[in-house]
Amino acid sequence: MLPFNEVPHAPVRDTTTIRPPAASHGADMWRVARDSDELDLNSSYKYMLFARDFARTCRVAVVGDRVVAFVLGYRRPEAPERLFVWQIAVDEDHRGAGLAGRLLDDLVTVGDTESPVVFVETTITDDNTASQRLFAAFAERRSAPNEVSDLFDGPDFPDRHDAERLHRIGPIPSPVRG
């Protein structure tokens, strides 16, 4: 049996494939994050570890042999039915075509059918309209509530950082859980 991150996943259109990352994709995820001009750029080592150890809760979109988008998440250890989406980014020339939405859909729908995702959580800053719309549209597709609350305020951060508001989407209706 193939390892989970080598199993082919849903092809999107003719040339884009959405799949869990291989370990080698961590470096590509770092590049997409760096070029987004929006995300907090973590060390390349962090993306490489996520690609190796959290492939089930991450996805990359690949065109040819180039990674053009990724989503990086994890199951919260104390509440594994909650999938926390840490970062999602699409290369600029692939934006506006529904790719980020498809990454989220693949993550939640194809995900782990024995242990379905009941809530999707993420944090978004007030100025990130595209991300707010992305997650609101995801909630609408799932007919799931989208609750917004404070999580980390600006002064909570040790460095300069905008407030991060928690968006909690769910419960996600059972027909799409597996």
Binding site for ligand COA (CB under 6 A): 36, 38-39, 87-90, 95-101, 128-131, 133-134, 137
**C-alpha torsion 153→156→159→164, nearest 10:** -30
Q: Which is nearer to ligand COA, 124 or 172 (CB)?
A: 124
Token look-up 């707010």 returns 132
Nearer to ligand COA, 5 or 87 (CB): 87
| Residues forming a β-bridge with 175 | none
**Residue 104 Cβ, how far from ligand COA at the closest point, in Å?**
8
Q: Is 85 helix (H, G, I), strand (E, B) or coil?
A: strand
Of 27 and 130, the one with the shorter C-beta distance to ligand COA is 130
| Helical packing angle, 99-109 and 129-141, nearest 10° | 40
DSSP string, 11-78: EETTTEEEEPPPGGGHHHHHHHHHHTSSSPP--HHHHHHHHHH-GGGEEEEEETTEEEEEEEEEEETT
Minimal distance in Å, beta carbon 176 to ligand COA? 17
Q: Nearer to ligand COA by C-beta: 113 or 149? A: 149
The distance of closest approach from Cβ of residue 122 to ligand COA in the complex, given in angstroms and rounded to an integer, is: 7
Q: How far is the CB of 7 from ligand COA (least distance, A)?
A: 24
